Each structure stands twice: as structure tokens, then as C-alpha cells.
Chains A and B, each alone.
Chain A
């Protein structure tokens, strides 16, 4: 008697692979034989549990983890394929509280589907957004995105609908949609996980954007450090062409859209949108002055939508479920969900997608479970290497663009990096300047020279020769970089420096009086 093989899910996500997912998958396939179908899904985002193996059972998908290759034989023997008990058994995957308590919108399919199966994609609600969008006029799509309150997830939080409207209104026979997937911020990985775990969502989102603004060509600019994401995207794009989701007639409509992947060259600055456009044009990755804004004169001087992976990846859900569903989540002017990434010295790191408004404390202490070292949390850096360092006293802060800005901090791309009480905040401030010096494109003076001088001045402060004078100088420099830099790279570098000075003055050997 033949029966359907049992489906076992082992993530293909590079975070899972880095802790042995490939070997686990191989071992399961070898040992279990033809009775098992191994699906390489994306990651559920519970990185401390990777490799997280799931088994499809009549009662739903049962999770085990973290599974080492050596565990496989024992798990199979214990009845893994039936979802049997085992010390590594975590129960039904979607009942794991960490996951259950999230609101997964952008990441709804990540970890669930086979990322490269168009059928799986459609079976899980894929294409509903694009189908609906194509039944509307571009103006209606732009209005829907505007109404959803979706803001750019790359960090700046600019309303996506307004940007799209500008591009839609620009007269040009050639327009572009560019996806910024140069995810260079330390402690961020959501773009990668979406591209590896659900690439069709990004493709669909870009097609919707193209329809909405009248673009015919799209580019995904992926950093070279993400080879798996590049490969996955390229395979998915090929499949999308085969299915008619891309190409001359998208979904058999009179609408053509071609999509290409371009790989960056390892420069952080190419995550800045105008540098990215320069790089896409084959030039040196150097920031352009704005205006002209890319929406009017972007790639090759043509009107261009530039959005982050998560922004474009949110669009299919918005179009499928309607603007109101998305706008119904969140607080203030921060609508919908944000895909937070917990990292650093944290007990439970990974993806937390939840509505805006969750507090920093809930993320770090609740989801994150405090530090991995077990020592007390001392500081959290939110929003990447240019984000502010916040002390535990600010754990009440709601994750909300405006609330963070008021606290001289930023939500950014949603990266949350945790430090315990052994951290030296003067060294962290110095690192911010050093990072800027290493990654500056070199175009504007405050960033090019200022960052190098910043490192030197912090060293002098720590050495303590003329602290009062040097603290004033550092303050002036931070002011100059904030106000005078050409782009956000130099403009935001003072944020971690100043937040470290504000919240942890003792680490600089300074008294509060001296700082004023």
C-alpha cells in the first residue's frame, strides 16, 4: 500500500544553514527514505531554535529544535514523523507563544511555504494583491497604498504612497522600480529572510508598484554578502517569468514588467538610495545631492520608485486585504506592522513582526528574554549602527517613528541590538565614528573628515587631557555632521555618539557639569 510521504520542513534560510540545517536536511532525507518529502522552507525567525524542523501532521505542523545533525536518528526513532514526543519537541509551531503573539503580515508566508514553489505561493494567498491591483487604475492603487499609511521600512519612514504618486505623476516613457536590498545595518536581517523565505512576495510587490507608477523595469539591488538571497531571487524570478507573473504581459494583462537582480560591491553607502542608483548605473557608489529626488530623476535620470524590501514586501498584503486592514494596526502615524529584528546579546533573537506601538521593553525583555549572557541589559541600539543607544530607563518607549524621534532616537530598519552591563559606551561611540569613517563615500566634508576627527576626539576625551574642551569640540562636530552632511550616513552618525554621551556620560569619564 502506498501512502503520501510525510512532509518535513527544514529551513533553507542562511541563518539556519549556518548552524547545520543542510546537514540536518540531508540526514533526514537519507535516513527516512522515500516515505519523507523534505521541504526547505524559510525560517520562522526563532533563530535560537534553528535548525527548527517541522513535521506536517494531521494536527498541524509540529516543531522540534534546535536540531543538530546528530539528533536526527534519535528524533526519527522517537517518531518525529508522527509528531511524537521528544526533548526537542516544541509543540505545534504556530502555538509557540513567541510566534503566536506576533502579527505576521509581511512575513505571513515566511517559514510556512516552500519559497521556490509558485503553487505553494498561490495556495497561501499569493497573487491576490497583484490581481486586485491590476483590476484597479494606477491612481487607485496609489491611493490605497497612501491610505494604508505604509511608510518606507528602510529607515527614513517616508510615506510610500506619496513617493509613488510623484513617480506616477512624472511624465516619462521609461520609469523604474528599484528595490533596495543592500541591507547593511548591523543587527538587521529581515530583508534577507524575506528574500530567502518568500521571494515571490517581493516580486509581486514590485509588480504592483510598477503598475501603480507606470514603470516597466525593476531592479533588486542585493548586497554581495547575501549569495543565498541572490540565488533564491533569481530562481524565483525565472519561475515568475514562466508563470507569466513577469514579462511582456503580466497576468495576461496589457502591462509589461521586467525584473532584474543586481549585486552590490560591498559598500555600506550603497544602501543609501542615491548611491545605490549610482551603483546600479555602473558608477562609483557615491551619494547624489537631492534635489532632484529619485522619484523624478532616479535611475539613469528617469522617474524611479526606490523602496526597501520590507516596504515592497508589505504591498501585496495591503492590496489583498485592503488599506484599512493594514491601517488598523499601529499607533499614531506609524501604521501597520514592523518587522523587528532582535540581535546582539539577547537570549531569544530573531524576527518579531508586530504592530507599531509595542514597547522597547516588551521587545527586549519580553520577546528577547533579556541577555544571552544572563547579565543585566545595559543598552540597546535601535535602528542600526547609526541608531541611538537607549538605556533600560527608556524601555517604556513605544516603537513609533515620532516617539523615537522625540527621544533623539530612531526606529530605522527595525534592528534592535542588545548589550549587557559589560559594554563600554565610549568605545561604542568611538565605533560609531569609526564605522562612519570606514563606510563614508567620501563626498561631503563633514562625513569624510569629520568621522576620522570624531574617532580622534573621542580617544582624547577618554585619555582625558583636556576633556572639557574636547567634549565641546565633539559636540560641535556632532552638530556639524548632523546639520551639514549630505546624506543620512554622516547626518545620523552623531546619534549613537550623542545618545551614548547623554545616557552613559560616566563611560567617557565626564561629569554632567563638564558636558554642559
Chain B
């Protein structure tokens, strides 16, 4: 396989009904109105030379390589900035144009190093290509003139160099930073010949606002902005298309390799989730996959106090099977279980739940989605009938108002955040409901219309008040409700009650009533209003209630079932959606079908040849409780560091210590493996062959760029354990697993690796009725028939500030790190976030005598940890914030066992804490 190069049409596609017919070099082509001559030419196979144009950016017209000849027009207009007109006749190749293009190129090369042969971009340089294309043979100006060849290289970014001596001042990087990423960190400094790209106010890239998303590197037509890996390893020579394994955006990437070595990850333009964009994690932070910390051989030990012993696969698998069977023999079939990982592929997850249900013979399977988005599955199923978001990402381009609740996309879902920001620059409005002043409240070219600074734990009161305003101010979409929904009358009566009015809940939520009313009117009167939310919604004692509250609000205003609207979870991990789809929950078989459903169970029983348990199994917290009770003693954990990521670390540790067999399958030894008896080396996404399903239900292929470093695919390991336990389970490859999923699960009926390889990706449901998948759900009716209004009483969490614990701790993510940090801490990303810090409002710090940079003790009723303080007025008074990327922080030492009433999703977002000064910051540090 060679390098894949997407076609670059030069300027973005225009959408619109009206089309225009033009003739280019004698070829007739019909394109949407507003399309550039350049793009129209490209669409009929004519490539016009270009340097400053690329189809991810609006035309700029600076390089003057793309000049063309148009009948009836004076001079030589630039084809990138000239829109087509009906009947236009264009010539792209004439001797005159050839001379002009050669003249431009001659100027460029007169100020460019002549080191093509030793340049890292040799062979992947548009300047080089164009010089060849226009037939430049000499530079008559010579090379003694004024030039920029002595400009220094900025190597401050850990992943890429900025070699100013090679810059052709095309502004593609500057424009990409603004138009694609929306950060506006780059600019052009100076004018005329002195024009040069500058990061921020003339400092280095690292000193600037640069978020290292790589858009500038991607846009650069030369080697000016170049991945350091290419400088060091050389140009890659083959491409494997795959999917990023970080967040739930699910960006498509081209893994570009030399042999088996990944040289760089390049965002894939035809990937529908990201359309050629990326963030610092997916683009650059893949080095963990080849980190020396990776444990590549299986290990076994009798007791967790024993040293590890590396063993062969056969011994490890035999050991696991034997010990599991022994536990079952001694304590019953239900004494063991497994946890699947949202980091793994659909196929890997499917075999884990199959192993538990068929080989273990129980339903004790759960997934790490338990601790993040289980309320989403519950809430949206109750109201709409399907446990997933309603839209595709692209839909936001049609939204007029975005209601963002409890999500911080610029840090946690950066590539989608860029889409949001672009839409905001086009004039859409955003309402942010979040205790923190996140970047989407205010940052360059972003200004939220309303920031509803809701107190942690009071979301339901907030959403109820919004619905109250809708109902009492005549903002209900009566037609939609009458045609499409049920139980509205009861709900209307409920929500109209005065206790839900903004004025009544102002004291609870802290959101001024007038602001809430104004925000609601904006949401309800927009043409298209969409709700986006994250773990700030789900990780609460009323997470499920809040999801249903949002679903109610969207239905009441008719914001469901078309582009630009909907209710959309931003999933934390790459395959949260998929791991839930695959039947990882103890009460559901694949496709969200209850284990008690005889027909569904029958399908699997026939295929799997085992009788399945019709009763729900244990959820993760129940497993821990049962372990402490002595009734649950064997656990298989796939790719999740529960000892670090689950709440109330002390309780989790006690539970793990009480078990007789803990099997950890992971890339690295981690907090959980400290309690493990068997360690099974896992595979990184670069070794996996399968699919991930992102937050928009998009099933993307994950293709291996190398064989498993451990010698076995994760699904093979699971199958072998099942086999060793006496249950025959075997697949030739992971495609067969998907075939089985498609065979058993109606929403996946049309999915196969062959289909995905052919069309790129599909969004479930994908079946005979929708062979290409379903970007927008509930268009003609809700999946459950009618959308159901659910009464959503606000019940305060039991976790509240007290005299002893007067502050509320809430948690989240930052851009450069990912979850427990197992991966990102093993990459250059530590340059941005070497440690977790505690963000605190200046007032809260002042009354405690705490200064910026001091180390403090963070104490809750269950535990204590230490952190450095960052004083930041983006926090409201009374709320502190931290991340959980570093194990040394142990943020979950302090979080409690409180959880969502319906799903037991932990209440990570609300913990009553106290903060006290431990060590002042060393002098000079602040």
C-alpha cells in the first residue's frame, strides 16, 4: 500500500440547490452556485496550479499561481477567488498563463533554500511539485538578493518545528489556525517582504495560545511546519486508514508509516467525524504505543504481594480459566464476572460480554461507560427509545442556537469544538450551562450569549425551570407535541407548577431568573436549537433525570428530527457508544435488548449454544460491594484502570483486595494491576483490527498498522480463555465477529467490514431500510413510537457543603491529557500538563491564606489528597476543580459512593471538600 493522498479541490465545497454550468478547457461541468473556478476545474479533472489554496480553507488569492483566462474578462483572474458564472468559458492552460505561473514560481524560489534533497518534505512538498508542474528551469534573479534564509527555527513545540527560512508566506497556517481550529494563535507580522508568520505576540509557539492541534502543520504546503518525527525518521511510504483511540469524536486518521514504524498520524479529510481536522492527542500523542513501559508478556502471581512472573500465553490463559472455574465451583456461577472497556473495539467488547454470558454463564458484565454515560443510555431510551444521541456532528452546521450543558468541548472534544466555534463565527448563538467559565463562554471570536453558572448538583432544577418558561410563556411547539409525543398533558401540568419557575429555583441553582428566562427564550425561539452535553450532566445523583429533562425540553420545543437540532451526548471515550451497543451492560444484550426478553435471548442461545441467564447481573459498584461481602471473587478487567478511575478509591481497593482472582488486560501495569493476579498484555489501537463507534453512532474502522506486539489480539485472548473454560468460542478474524454482531443485532444488520471498507463509515441504525446508515434519528417518528415526556422531580443530592466541607469539588479534563493519563503521560503532551492542579476562585483562596502555586490538602469525608493550587476566576466562589490525569493526584481518593439513582453512574461532579494549606509555594514560583 502506498501513501494515500486525498484530492485537494482547492476551495471548499458550496452547498445549495442552484447550479451553474461552465466550460473549462472545453469540458462542461455543472457545480453549485458560488463554487470557485478552481474547484469546478478540479471536479472535472483539471488541476490548476496552486499554493495558497487548499479546500479546507476559504480562498485567499495570494499566491497567484492559479490565474486563468476567462472569456470576456480583463486580465487573468485568480481561479480560487473567482466564482463560476453561468456559461463562463475558462482556459487554464495558455502560453501566457504558463509564463505568469513560471514567473511567480521563479520569485518564490529566489527566496527559498535550495536543499530539496536534504529537506524532510522532499517528495511531499507542494512548492516542489508546483515548481515541477510549471516547468521552472532557472531563477534569473540569482540567489544573492534579499532573503529569509537565515531566519531561525522555532522548536519549542514537542511535536513540530517551525522553520521560518522555508516559509512562503501563503498564510495557510494562519488561516487554518483561525478557520479550521478557531484558536487564532497565529498571525502575519510585518508587511511586504518582511511579512512572516508569528505565533501570538511574536513569541514562540509554546508561549502562544497554540493548542498544538496540528492544523497549521497540515495546512503548510512546504516543510516550514513539519512534524519532528518526519525530520527524524524520514518520509513515510505507506498509509493505513484508521480511527483515533482517544475521545468520542472518533477522528479518522491516516497512519503514515515506514515499514512498521508510525512516522505520523495525519487527519483524514474524507473522515466524516473530523473532515481532516485533529487535536494534539490524536495528531501527535501516539508515542505511548511504542513506549518501553509497555508490558508485552503475560504475567502471573499467586498473591498480590508476590513478584510478577512472566509466563507464556498458554500458561496465563490456562491459569485464568482454572482459577475462574475453581471460584465458580466454590462460590457459585455468579461469583465471577468481567468489565469491558470503552477503549477497545466493538469486536473486543462483544467477545467479552459473550464470554461472560456464555462461558461464565451469568450476566455479570459491565463496562466503564457505567461511570460516564450510563445515564445517557437510560434517559434517552426512556424518552426517545434509543440509547444514543440524535444527530451527526455535521448537523451543528445548521444549528442557530447551541445549548451546551456540562461539557467542555475545547478541552475534551476539541475537534468537535472547532466545528462549534466555526458555527458561532457564522452567527449561531451559544448558551453555556456550567459552573466554570469555560473557553466557549469567552475566548477569541467566541462570546456566549448566556452563561448559566449553575451550582454543581442542581442541573435538574435548571432544566425544569427552562421547560417551565417554555410551557408558561407559550413557547411550546404544540403541533410537534400533538403529532409526535405522549404524556404531554401530565408533564405540562407538572412543569407549570410555580416551584419550577426560574424565580423559585434561583436560590437553588444560583442562576438569575431573568438570565434563565432570556436563555430559554433564545433556545425556544431559534429556528434550530441543539443541546450538547457531557459528563457534567451524567455524573450526578440525578444524571438520568437530567438527561430526560433535556429530552423533554427538546421535544416541547420541537427540536428533534432534523438537521441542526437534537440532544447529543459528547462521549468521553472513543468507543463508549460502541461498548454500550455491544451489550456490555448486565441487563442488556447487544442492541440494548433486555436479558429477560425471551425472543432476543433465544436468538443468542441458538447461536451460542448455551442457555442464558434471564436476570440482570451485577453492575461495577455492585461487584465491588459483593466482593467485600465475599460473594464475588473473580474479575476480568479489560483495559480499564478501575482503581484510579472509579470513585472512592479506598472502597475499590478494599474490594479488589478481597477478590481471589483479578485479571487485568492492559497496555501498562497500572493502579488496578497492583491488585491483579494475572496480567494479560493488551494491544494498542495501532495493532487492533475492528471498529469503534463514536458519539454520533458512527462505526469507523480501526485497521492494524502492525501485528500485536504481545503476539495475540485481545479478542483471541478472550476466546482462548472461554475455550479453556470449556466453552467453544473461535473466530478466524475480527470481521467474523462483526458478522455475528450484524446477524444478531438488528441495528447493525447492514454492517460489515466489507461495507465499511467500501463506504468509509456508517451510522447505526444500518439495515435494509437504511443501508447507508442514519445520520439523524427520529425524523419521521421516535424509535419508541411517540416521544415520551417524563416527570423529572428535582431531588437535591445528599452531597452538600457543610461547615466541615464547605467547598464543592467538581472534576474534568484538560486538552493535552486523557482520562487516567496512561497514554498521554507517556507522550510529549506532558509539556503542557505535568501535573493535576486544583483550580480555585481568588476569594476562596484568600480566606484560606492560599496563594497561587501553594500545595494544599484536599479533603472529603472519604479521603484526602494533595495538589498544587491554581487561582483562577473562571471558577465560581465555593467550587473547586481538578482533573484526574495523574495517579499521584488520586482525585478519586476523595470522591464518594454517591451515584445516579437509575444507573449508579458515580457523582464525580459533586463532592463536598475542604482545602487547607499544606506547603507554601517555593519563592519565585508564582
Contact = CB atoms under 8 A, between A and B. Distances in A.
A289 B145 contact: no
Contacts of B62: 443-445, 486
Most buried by A among B62, B96, B168, B192: B192
Interface in B605-635: none
Interface string A281-317: 0001110011100000000000000000000000000
B107 A445 contact: yes
Interface string B56-88: 000111111001000000011010111100000
Contacts of B168: 445
Contact of A484 (B80, B103, B191): B103
Given A289-B81, A445-B108, A453 B145 contact: yes
Contacts of A514: none
Contact of A483 (B61, B75, B107, B145): B75
A3 to B, nearest CB: 60
A450 interface: yes
Most buried by A among B81, B83, B140: B140
Contacts of A446: 64, 103-104, 107
A451 B192 contact: yes
A442 B64 contact: no
Interface string B162-203: 000000110100000000000000011011111100000000
Contact of A291 (B83, B104, B111): B83
A428 B61 CA distance: 30
A382 interface: no
A483 B96 CA distance: 10
A94 interface: no
Given A267-B191, A448-B169, A450-B107, A483 B59 contact: no
B141 interface: yes
Contact of A442 (B67, B82, B169): B169
Nearest to B144: A456
Interface in B104-153: 104, 107-108, 110-111, 140-141, 145-146
B13 interface: no
B192 A437 contact: yes
B371 to A, nearest CB: 46
A265 to B, nearest CB: 11
A439 interface: yes
Interface stretch (A14-22, A403-411, A469-477): A469-477
Contacts of B108: 445, 449
B100 interface: yes
A269 interface: yes
A479 B67 CA distance: 14
B83 A456 contact: no
A486 to B, nearest CB: 6
A450 B169 CA distance: 14
Nearest to B63: A445
A457 interface: yes
A153 B190 CA distance: 30
A477 B103 contact: yes
Contacts of B195: 441-443, 448
B70 to A, nearest CB: 12
Given A445-B63, A484-B67, A290 B81 contact: yes
A440 B193 CA distance: 8
B100 A437 contact: no
Contacts, number: 109
Contacts of A443: 60-62, 171, 195
B39 to A, nearest CB: 15
A427 interface: no
A451 to B, nearest CB: 7
Contacts of A485: 64
A385 B390 CA distance: 62
A486 B61 contact: yes
A239 interface: no
B194 A480 contact: no
A456 B191 CA distance: 19
Interface string A221-262: 000000000000000000000000000000000000000000
Contacts of A171: none
B193 A437 contact: yes
Interface in A413-440: 437-440
A99 interface: no
Interface residues of B, number: 38
Contact of A457 (B81, B96, B141, B187): B141
B140 A469 contact: yes
A32 interface: no
Contacts of B141: 453, 456-457, 473
Tell me which of B63, B64, B75, B78 has the highest count of chain A C-beta atoms within 10 A of its own C-beta.
B64
A441 B191 contact: yes
A440 B81 CA distance: 20
Given A442-B169, A484-B67, A448 B78 contact: no
A452 B146 CA distance: 7
Nearest to B100: A484
A456 B104 contact: no
B61 A452 contact: no
Contacts of B76: 483-484
Contacts of B145: 452-453, 456
A480 B104 contact: yes
Given A291-B83, A449-B107, A442 B192 contact: yes
Contacts of B140: 469, 473
B192 A284 contact: no
Given A284-B188, A291-B83, A453-B107, A442 B193 contact: yes
A447 B104 CA distance: 10
A316 to B, nearest CB: 33
A439 to B, nearest CB: 7
Nearest to B140: A473
A484 B76 CA distance: 7
A438 B195 CA distance: 11
A202 to B, nearest CB: 29
A469 B138 CA distance: 13
A438 B99 CA distance: 26
Nearest to B76: A483
Contacts of A457: 141
A224 to B, nearest CB: 16
A441 B192 contact: yes
Nearest to A450: B107
A483 B99 CA distance: 11
Nearest to B58: A289
Contacts of A477: 103
A440 B108 CA distance: 16
B187 A284 contact: yes
A121 B193 CA distance: 47
Contacts of A449: 107-108, 110-111, 193
A177 B242 CA distance: 53
A254 to B, nearest CB: 29
A444 B192 contact: no
Contacts of B103: 446, 476-477, 479-480, 484
Question: Which of A290, A439, A451 gathers the greatest number of chain B CB atoms within 10 Å?
Answer: A290
B423 to A, nearest CB: 16
A289 B63 CA distance: 11
Interface of A: 267, 269, 284-286, 289-291, 437-453, 456-457, 469, 473, 476-477, 479-480, 483-486
Interface of B: 59-64, 67, 75-76, 78, 80-83, 96, 99-100, 103-104, 107-108, 110-111, 140-141, 145-146, 168-169, 171, 187-188, 190-195
Given A442-B188, A449-B193, 11 more contacts: A291-B81, A448-B169, A449-B107, A452-B146, A452-B192, A453-B110, A456-B145, A483-B67, A483-B100, A484-B103, A486-B62
17 contacts: A267-B191, A291-B81, A439-B192, A442-B169, A442-B191, A443-B195, A444-B61, A445-B107, A446-B107, A449-B193, A450-B107, A452-B192, A456-B141, A476-B99, A477-B103, A479-B99, A484-B67
Q: Which 7 A-B pairs have the closest CB atoms?
A: A289-B61, A442-B195, A289-B81, A440-B192, A480-B103, A449-B107, A484-B64
